[in-house]
Structure 1
Amino acid sequence: MKQDARHISFSVYSKDDDLIGFASLVKLDEVVVTGTKTSNKPAKKPTHGILLENPILEDEHLGMGTHVIEWDGFDPDDKLDTSKFAQQITFQIMVSAKIGGRAGYRKTVQTEYMTDDGEWLDVRIDKKANLINTTLRVDFRDGGTKGLSPGSPSMTISTYGINMPGQSADWDKVPAAEQAKIPALRQRNKTHDELVKYAIDGINQYWSRININNQGKDIQVNGVSYQVITEAVDSKERCTDDLSLIFLTNFDWESRFNRSSNPGRVRDWNSFQANFLPQRVFYKAGYYHYKNKITGNTEWDYLSESYSIEDFKETTAHELGHEILAAYGGGEYSNTHKGTSTFYTQSGLPSSILPTSGEVDLMKYYDRPDRSRTIVAEEDIKGLVWLSTIKIKQE
C-alpha cells in the first residue's frame, strides 16, 4: 500500500569513497515517491564513503508523483573536484515513509572525459572562495644541447689523397673581439632540472588569472568573478604529449631550425599537417648572431641570464598553450595563433597590431612584444577548464 514519505536523501559515492564534485548537470533516472512533508530533520550522516548527502525536503519532491532529481556536482561546502569522478560514481536515493519503512534506489555508472585530453587535467572549483585551481600534467623531456659541438680536426687520407677539412667548435664561431668582452659558453650552464623548474614557473605564471597580475586578474562565470590558479607538474602518466627542453647557445637567431614549436598530438586534419614541426622549447643563452636590417652585416650579441630565463618561461607557456588550444579549438585555431599568423610558416600577419593598452594575448602573434602585459586570454582559460568535463558513459 502506498503511504506518505517523510523525507528523501540523495547521496553520491566515488569509486575510492572520497568527497567529489561535478562540473556539469547530472540527471538521475526518474524516481517515483509518494507522500507529504512532515519533518525537516535531516537523515543521519553515514560514516563510510559518503560524497554528498542532501536531504530533499521540498513539498514538490515529497508529493506523490514522478520526479527528476538534479545535482550540479558540488558538495555541501560548494566545492567541486573533477579528479574524484574518475572511472565511476554511485548514486543512491533513500525514501523514508511517514508511517514506517524505507525504500532505496542505487545505481553505479561508469564515467569518461568529454575529450581524451581531459586525462591530463584536474580542476577544483570553490564557489565560496570564488577560486578555480587547475593541475596540468606535462611530460617534459631532456632534449640535450645545441651549439656546443667541440668540432673536429682536419684529416688527410693519404692512400687516396683526400683532404677532409675540420669543423670549428661552435664557440669558436663567435668573433674574438666579442669573446674578449664575454667568453662564449662551452658547456651548458643550466641543467635539465633547472629548465623544468623554469618551464613550470612560466606555465603557472602565464596560465593563471589572479589579482596580483598586471593584466588578467580573473575570469567571469555567469557574472561572478573567479580567480584561476594553474599549477603545472612534470609527469609521465596521464599527461600531455612530450615536450623537449633544449639548451641552445652560439646560434643563429633567425634560423627556423632554432625556433620553438609544439603542434601537440594529432586530433584532426589540421593538427596532422602541423605535426611536421617538432615538439620542443629552446632555452636560448649566451651568444647569438643575426643580420642587421640596416647594414646587412652579421652581428653578434649576448643574452643576459635574466633575459634567457624570462624568455624561456613565456615561450614554454606559449608552446604548451598550443596543446590546449588544439584540444578545445582545433588544429587551425592553434596553428594560426587564433587567426594572427599563417598556418604553415607561422609568420605573423601584418594586421595583428599590439594593443595600445590592456591585455596582450599569450597565444596571439603581434608586430612587437610586451611581456609586462602578456597573459592567457579569458576564453583560453575557460577552454582549459572545459577540457576537464566528465560525462556518464552510455550503456
Structure 2
Amino acid sequence: MANNSRTGKNNYPGAILPAPYRVRPQPIGAVNDEQIHNGSKRPLTYATANMDDEHKIIHIRLRMNYGKPSLLTCLLGLAKKPGDAQFEYYARLADEGIAKYWSRTITLKGEAWDVRVRPERSAQGMPLTLANPGSRLLGNLSKRSRNPYPFFTGTLYYDENDGPDPERSYAMTAAHEVGHPLLTHAFGAIWSWGHAGTSTLLGKRYDSAPECPAQGEINLMLYYNRNTSCVIGSNGIFERTIASEDDLKTLVYIAGRPK
C-alpha cells in the first residue's frame, strides 16, 4: 500500500483481472452532485467539510492522530522510534503532503469549486504511526509504508535513502497512505487497497496497470507500471501528482458537515 509505484487520470486499464478483482469506474460517479454537496448519511468522524456556497470554496478539516511505534513493535524489529524532534518533523511533512496533494479544484453542479484540505492534530483523528525503518532482515515489513486503518493502524516510514528528495517523497507517500482509509470508508477495502484495480490487495502491481503519464496529472492513489515518467524526482512528478477529482469528490461526500 506504499506509494512507491507512482501514480494519473482515471485511465484505468480495461483488462479483466483475476477474480474477484475487476477494474471498475470510480464509484463516486453513481452519486449525484447534489448528494455530494449535501454529504453522506454515513460521514467520517475525523473529517469535516464546510461548504462556502457564495464563494464556491470547500474547507475540509482532516483530523490526524500521529503517534510513535510501540515498544513491542520496536523490540520485534518492525520499526525504530523517532526522537521528539524527528517525530515533529515527520508530522509536519505529512501535514504538508496531505494539504498539497488533496487540495484542488473540482466541478460540482456545473461550477468550479476550490477544495482546500487542512490537517489538524487531534486525539480523535485518524491514527497514523510515524516511524524510522526497523531491521533490514525483515525487508518490506519494516520499511514499507502502509495504512489498513480502520482494521489496523497505519505506519509511515521515513527513508532517508528514498530517491533524490526523501522529504518530498515522504510527504507524497503520507498523502497516499492517508487516502486509503478515506476510500475504504467510501467504497471498501477491495477498491482502496487494490488501487482501483491496478494492484492486488497486498499492493502487488498488476501487469495490466497503465504506464505513468508523461504529461498532465498523475493520480495520487493509482499504481502504475514503471517507465521513465515514473522515476521519483524526475519529469515534475512531485508537481504533477494530485488526488484525482473523483477521489476528492469522494472526500467531500464522506466528510461530515458542521453542526
The answer as to whether partners of 1:262 and 1:319 remain within 8 angstroms in 2 is: yes
Q: How far does the alpha carbon of each residue in 1:210-257 deviate from its partner, in whole angstroms, 9 at most, with x for none?
A: xxxxxxxx11112101111100111102x22x1100023895896343
Q: Would you say 1:233 and 2:135 are equivalent positions?
A: no
Q: Would you say 1:338 and 2:196 are equivalent positions?
A: yes
User: 1:122 deviation in Å?
Assistant: 1.2
Equivalent position SS for 2:159: strand
Counterpart of 2:29 in structure 1 is none
Partners of 2:136 and 2:160 in 1: CA distance: 9
Counting only pairs closer than 5 Å after superposition, residues 206-285 of structure 1 correspond to structure 2 as 206-209=101-104, 218-237=105-124, 239-240=125-126, 242-248=127-133, 251=136, 255-266=140-151, 275=152, 279-285=154-160
The answer as to whether partners of 1:246 and 1:280 remain within 8 angstroms in 2 is: yes
Q: How far does the alpha carbon of each residue in 1:309-331 deviate from its partner, in whole angstroms, 9 at most, with x for none?
A: 11110111000000101011111
Uncovered stretches (5+) of structure 2, i.e. residues with no partner: 1-32, 76-81, 231-236
User: 1:285 deviation in Å?
Assistant: 1.6
The answer as to whether partners of 1:219 and 1:225 remain within 8 angstroms in 2 is: yes
Instruction: Quickly say closer, same or farther: Cα 1:132–1:318, change in 2 above 3 A.
Output: same
Counterpart of 2:89 in structure 1 is 194
Matched pairs, number: 207
The answer as to whether partners of 1:144 and 1:246 remain within 8 angstroms in 2 is: no
Partners of 1:314 and 1:252 in 2: CA distance: 26
Partners of 1:194 and 1:378 in 2: CA distance: 29
Partners of 1:234 and 1:204 in 2: CA distance: 13
Question: Which amino acid in 2 is paired with 1:373?
Answer: R
Counterpart of 1:154 in structure 2 is none
The answer as to whether partners of 2:180 and 2:193 remain within 8 angstroms in 1 is: yes
The answer as to whether partners of 2:133 and 2:159 remain within 8 angstroms in 1 is: yes
Counterpart of 2:204 in structure 1 is 347
Question: Which amino acid in 1 is paired with 2:172?
Answer: E
Partners of 1:253 and 1:203 in 2: CA distance: 28
Which of these residues, 241, 247, 254, is aligned with residue 380 of structure 1?
247
Question: Which amino acid in 1 is paired with 2:145?
Answer: S
Which of these residues, 314, 322, 331, is aligned with residue 180 of structure 2?
322
Question: Which amino acid in 1 is paired with 2:114?
Answer: Q
The answer as to whether partners of 1:120 and 1:136 remain within 8 angstroms in 2 is: yes
The answer as to whether partners of 2:45 and 2:256 remain within 8 angstroms in 1 is: no
Question: Which amino acid in 1 is paired with 2:204?
Answer: S
**Greater relative contact order, per chain length (Cα 8 Å cut-off, separation 6+):** 2
Counterpart of 2:218 in structure 1 is 360
Give the aligned CA root-mean-square deviation in angstroms. 3.2
- Give the TM-score normalised by the residue count of structure 1: 0.47
Partners of 1:255 and 1:122 in 2: CA distance: 34
Identity between Structure 1 and Structure 2 (%): 26
Partners of 2:224 and 2:172 in 1: CA distance: 15
Counterpart of 1:292 in structure 2 is none
Partners of 2:70 and 2:173 in 1: CA distance: 18
Range with greater deviation from structure 2 (194-203 or 351-360):
351-360
The answer as to whether partners of 1:192 and 1:245 remain within 8 angstroms in 2 is: yes
- Give the TM-score normalised by the residue count of structure 2: 0.70
The answer as to whether partners of 1:144 and 1:247 remain within 8 angstroms in 2 is: no
Partners of 2:93 and 2:146 in 1: CA distance: 17
Counterpart of 2:50 in structure 1 is 124
Uncovered stretches (5+) of structure 1, i.e. residues with no partner: 1-22, 26-71, 74-81, 83-112, 150-186, 210-217, 267-274, 289-302, 391-395
* Larger fraction in helix: 2
The answer as to whether partners of 1:285 and 1:308 remain within 8 angstroms in 2 is: yes
